[in-house]
Amino acid sequence: MWLMCWRRWLFLVGLASLGACGPQLGSLQRGETGQVTRVINGDTLQLESGLRVFLAEVDAPRGDQPYASQAYGELEALALHRTVLLAYGGTRRWVRRQRADDANATTTIARTGLEKGAPTSSAPQDTAAIAHVFVQSEGGRWFWLQNALVARGAAMVRPRFDNHARTAALLSTEDQARSASRGLWALPDYRTLTVANASRLAQRSDETCTRGDAPYRVLQGSIHDAQVFDRRASLVMDGGAADKPFSIVLFGDAFTHWDGPALASLSGARVRVRGTIGAFHDQPQVCLDDSRQLEVLHGPPARAQSQSPT
């Protein structure tokens, strides 16, 4: 009898220790804790301190986009009124500020990196955290919010050149959600596009792919011609119209910080690409923010020929 009681006591102690274990941060840096008091959209929430939090490395439909209300509901169900811990693996802050030389100028956006030190617990309204979020459930266990949303098909993976610490794990989760047609992946709007369909979407959107409200989608096809210049690259894909070829484009920080396969080697490669879709000078294109938005399906290994374009 005493042996059974002893084993039961050990079992209960084990459960208690599991519940007391904190979130598995790995290489992420621990940030603020707080309670979620508001869900703003499918990938943005607010803490009781007033700090807005953009969920790093994911993108959810918002506004009048298909599945936006469901994505909002999923985030609300998982996080609202719960204790959370923020953790950082890249740029920590998004800041909107006005140019000093023109009071009426359009606002510009600055991103504050890890070298700026530990973030504070409060922030003005024009500042938001860019963080991984760990939620403490009612039972005391912690779960990784981004992974939970992606697993449900409530968000897509969206790495950036300055935030991609856990993209590989999230892409694996997304592959499973897409294969099972969970959440947004069950809608025709979010199924993997062909180049021809991506080209039509780009011309319908009436936006450049650099605009924040441009559609973010996944497409698949073959690269016909890789054109690499001093400060940008244009990877022309098979399947576009003769007079309006569809291209994968990267420039600015995405080009400077490229650490994927050598861009010039991608001619003939079949790829899966995720990014914002739009048109520039009537030419349809998808913009990349990071090398992890391009997966090589057939052709040069995705990382074996990795090198900077400069």
For residue 225, being part of any structural domain is answered with yes
209-235 pLDDT, tens digit per residue, is 888 788 999 999 999 999 999 999 999
Does residue 103 sit in the same domain as residue 221? no
pLDDT of res. 212? 77
For residue 9, being part of any structural domain is answered with no
> Comparing 58-72, 254-268, 293-307, which segment has the lowest mean pLDDT?
293-307
Q: Tell me which of 239 and 74 has the higher pLDDT.
A: 74
Q: Final residue of a domain: which of 173, 200, 217?
A: 173
pLDDT of res. 111? 59
Does residue 239 sit in the same domain as residue 277? yes
Q: Final residue of a domain: which of 173, 203, 233?
A: 173
Does residue 234 sit in the same domain as residue 116? no
Does residue 107 sit in the same domain as residue 211? no
124-158 pLDDT, tens digit per residue, is 457 999 999 999 998 899 999 999 999 999 999 99
pLDDT of res. 106? 41
Residue 163: which domain range?
22-173
Does residue 87 sit in the same domain as residue 205? no
pLDDT confidence of 110, banded at 50, 70, 90? low
DSSP track, the chain: -HHHHHHHHHHHHHHHHHHH-----TTSEEEEEEEEEEEEETTEEEETTS-EEEETTEE---TTSTTHHHHHHHHHHHHTT-EEEEEESS--EEEEE--TT-TTSPPEEEEE-GGG-SPPS---TTEEEEEEEEEE-TTS-EEEHHHHHHHTTS-EE--BTTB-TTHHHHHHHHHHHHHTT-GGGGSGGGSPBPHHHHHHHHHHHTS-TTSTTSPEEEEEEEEEEEEE-SSEEEEEETTS-SSS--EEEEEHHHHHT--SB-GGGGTT-EEEEEEEEEEETTEEEEE-SSGGGEEEEESS-TTTTB----
Q: What is the CATH number of the domain that holds 241?
A: 2.40.50.140
pLDDT of res. 6? 43
pLDDT at 100 over 90: no
Does residue 49 sit in the same domain as residue 98? yes
pTM, entire model: 0.83
Does residue 138 sit in the same domain as residue 262? no
Average pLDDT, the chain: 86
pLDDT at 28 over 80: yes
For residue 30, being part of any structural domain is answered with yes
pLDDT of res. 242? 75
pLDDT at 5 over 80: no
43-81 pLDDT, tens digit per residue, is 999 999 999 999 999 999 999 999 999 999 999 999 999
pLDDT at 12 over 60: no
Does residue 137 sit in the same domain as residue 197? no
For residue 15, being part of any structural domain is answered with no
For residue 228, being part of any structural domain is answered with yes
Does residue 104 sit in the same domain as residue 223? no
Does residue 164 sit in the same domain as residue 200? no
Does residue 167 sit in the same domain as residue 201? no
For residue 81, being part of any structural domain is answered with yes
pLDDT of res. 22? 84
**How many distinct structural domains can be found in the chain?**
2
Instruction: Report d(CA 168, CA 159) in Å as an integer.
Output: 10
Instruction: Report d(CA 175, CA 247) in Å as an integer.
Output: 24
Closest to 280 measured CA to CA, from 207, 222, 230, 219: 207
For residue 132, being part of any structural domain is answered with yes
Q: What is the CATH number of the domain that holds 127?
A: 2.40.50.90
For residue 160, being part of any structural domain is answered with yes
Instruction: Report d(CA 65, CA 155) in Å as an integer.
Output: 13
Q: Tell me which of 242 and 171 has the higher pLDDT.
A: 171
Residue 165 phi, psi dihedral angles, 5° rounding:
-60, -35
Does residue 164 sit in the same domain as residue 212? no
